[in-house]
């Protein structure tokens, strides 16, 4: 019998959710982009308005379903809808953003009940453009908020980086998980 799992990618506009899903998906991802018509257009020409969706084939024939939420709060009704049935959250934070700690606190608070029932891993993007805050500072910040989670520097364009972030979440959920690193496939032991 095939194993089906659903991961939620969330975070602010421009943090790399769409790119991360595209880098992992074994099939062309589904995107619901529309032209940005508000301050988002200063960051990028198009933005996700409903969801991104990709699928990664697991060892043994199962699927890892990858759902990306819109980053804009005005589309927050999709956050709860997409989270239903999810096993965990991948939170991406743009370190080069105006206030990455504000973004971190905002998304952790908005997804708190889901995270409490599932799991969390945090990927910090664009650290190559801005090295501060550091990963250590992020750990201190989530400790203050009462969260425990792996936090990694991630380039959303690199499959290996995003795969490592997903693996960290899966290991956090189930420390007995086996991973085929060469294949970037997951199997439950």
Please give the full DSSP string across 4-39, using - where no structure is assigned.
EEEEEEE-STTSSHHHHHHHH-SSPPEEEEEE--SG
Reply yes or no on whether the pLDDT at 3 is more than 60.
no
Does the CA dihedral 131-67-114-76 come out positive or negative? positive
Share of the chain above pLDDT 70, in %: 74
Instruction: Report which secondary-structure segment, H or E, holds 78.
Output: helix 77-83
Tell me the pLDDT band of 78, cut-offs 50, 70 and 90: low
Is 54 or 76 the better-scoring residue by pLDDT? Answer: 54
Cβ proximity of 123 and 92 under 8 Å? yes
Is 82 or 121 the better-scoring residue by pLDDT? Answer: 121
So what's the pLDDT on residue 112? 94
Q: Which of 185, 153, 155 is nearest to 167 (CA)?
A: 185
Reply yes or no on whether the pLDDT at 79 is more than 80.
no
Whole-number average pLDDT of the chain: 81
Reply yes or no on whether the pLDDT at 187 is more than 50.
no
Reply yes or no on whether the pLDDT at 186 is more than 90.
no
Q: Which of 18, 20, 3 is nearest to 152 (CA)?
A: 20
Q: Rounded to an integer, what is the distance from CA 158 to the centroid of its chain? A: 14
For residue 24, CA distances in Å to 42, 105, 146, 160, 184 come to 27, 26, 30, 9, 9
Reply yes or no on whether the pLDDT at 2 is more than 60.
no
Domain locations in the chain? 4-188
Instruction: Tokens for 105, please give them.
Output: 């606190």
Thinking of the domain 4-188, which architecture would CATH place it in? 3-Layer(aba) Sandwich (3.40)
So what's the pLDDT on residue 136? 96
Distance between CA 119 and CA 81 in Å, rounded? 17
Does the CA dihedral 75-79-80-84 come out positive or negative? positive
């Amino acid at each position: 019998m095939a194993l089906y799992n659903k991961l939620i990618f969330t975070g602010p506009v421009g943090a790399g959710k769409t790119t991360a899903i595209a880098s992992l998906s074994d099939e062309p991802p589904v995107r619901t982009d529309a032209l940005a018509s508000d301050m988002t257009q200063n960051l990028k020409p198009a933005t996700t308005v409903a969801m991104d969706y990709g699928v990664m084939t697991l060892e043994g024939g199962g699927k890892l379903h990858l759902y990306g939420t819109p980053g804009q709060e005005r589309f927050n009704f999709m956050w709860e809808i997409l989270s239903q049935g999810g096993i965990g959250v991948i939170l991406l934070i743009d370190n080069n953003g105006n206030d990455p700690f504000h973004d971190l606190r905002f998304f952790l608070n908005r997804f708190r009940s889901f995270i409490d029932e599932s799991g969390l891993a945090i990927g910090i993007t664009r650290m190559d453009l801005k090295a501060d805050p550091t990963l250590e500072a992020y750990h201190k910040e989530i400790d203050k908020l009462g969260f425990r989670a792996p936090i990694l520097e991630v380039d959303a364009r690199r499959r290996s980086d995003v795969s490592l972030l997903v693996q960290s979440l899966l290991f956090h959920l189930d420390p007995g998980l086996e991973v085929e690193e060469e294949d970037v496939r997951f199997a439950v032991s």
